[in-house]
């Protein structure tokens, strides 16, 4: 891996360049509020037992962790994602090149909301009104991912069990970018055998 840089310009157009930068706290807060709003709307207008609502919510969170892993591994790391001319670089390679750039630790809000609307539409087509509970879980999972990812890149590792997440993600960034794809959980790295070798051996 190349030595990380502090800043890279993605677009010559100043407006496009500005749109690539965002405040992570704003994105996390707005997405979390959308998640809560959709859940409350579903609870008010669609009669389901409370336990079922929260069970579907948890399934949405779990599904997000799988989507996080698959997208990170097979989309963001597809092709030559380190090539500045490729779309993968603009989506993700830029983060590997500038991991300490706070303004690029979250997807810009307009794009985040557009993708959220797309995912809700897909979930609604597949599962109907259950989407009002599954989608909030999925979006909360994404909000939590953004929060954890931001902390990993801007704060020192804590002296508790969560220190593992810092170590896991730093292996992906600075030792082997073909391992440790999970950010919020190593679950899918364990299942799909992309845990770092030294950690994988401890699981067997």
Whether residue 173 is contained in a domain is answered as no
Please give the share of the chain, as a percent, with pLDDT higher than 90. 69
Determine the Cα–Cα distance for residues 128 and 53; give it in Å rounded to an integer. Answer: 14
Residue 91, domain extent: 14-156
Determine the Cα–Cα distance for residues 198 and 30; give it in Å rounded to an integer. Answer: 39
Whether residue 105 is contained in a domain is answered as yes
Determine the Cα–Cα distance for residues 131 and 152; give it in Å rounded to an integer. Answer: 31
Q: Nearest-CA neighbor of 152 among 139, 141, 163?
A: 163
Whether residue 20 is contained in a domain is answered as yes
Whether residue 68 is contained in a domain is answered as yes
Q: How confident is the model at residue 11 (pLDDT cuts 50, 70, 90)?
A: confident
Phi, psi of 192 (to 5 degrees): -95, 10
Q: What is the mean pLDDT of residues 183-204?
A: 80
Whether residue 36 is contained in a domain is answered as yes
pLDDT at 1: 43
Whether residue 149 is contained in a domain is answered as yes
Whether residue 81 is contained in a domain is answered as yes
pLDDT in tens, 70-94: 999 999 998 888 888 888 888 888 8
| CA 66 and chain centroid, separation | 10
pLDDT in tens, 181-191: 999 999 999 99
Whether residue 188 is contained in a domain is answered as no
Q: Full-prediction pTM beyond 0.75?
A: yes
| Overall number of domains in the chain | 1
Determine the Cα–Cα distance for residues 160 and 67; give it in Å rounded to an integer. Answer: 27
Beta-strand (E) ranges in the chain? none
């Amino acid at each position: 891996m190349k030595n990380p840089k502090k800043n890279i310009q993605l677009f010559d157009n100043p407006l496009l360049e500005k749109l690539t930068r965002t405040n992570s706290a704003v994105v996390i807060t707005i997405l979390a509020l959308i998640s809560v709003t959709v859940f409350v709307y579903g609870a008010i207008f669609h009669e389901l037992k409370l336990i079922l609502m929260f069970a579907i919510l948890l399934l949405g969170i779990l599904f997000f962790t799988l989507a996080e892993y698959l997208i990170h591994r097979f989309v963001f790391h597809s092709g030559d994602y380190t090539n500045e001319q490729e779309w993968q670089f603009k989506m993700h390679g830029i983060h590997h090149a500038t991991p300490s750039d706070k303004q690029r630790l979250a997807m810009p809000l307009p794009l985040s909301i557009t993708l959220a609307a797309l995912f809700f539409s897909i979930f609604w087509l597949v599962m109907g009104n259950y989407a009002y509970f599954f989608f909030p879980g999925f979006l909360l999972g994404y909000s939590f991912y953004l929060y954890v990812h931001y902390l990993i890149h801007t704060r020192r590792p804590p002296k508790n069990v969560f220190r593992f997440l810092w170590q896991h993600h730093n292996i992906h960034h600075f030792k082997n970018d073909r391992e440790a794809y999970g950010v919020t959980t190593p679950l899918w790295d364990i299942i799909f055998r992309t845990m770092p070798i030294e950690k994988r051996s401890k699981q067997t």
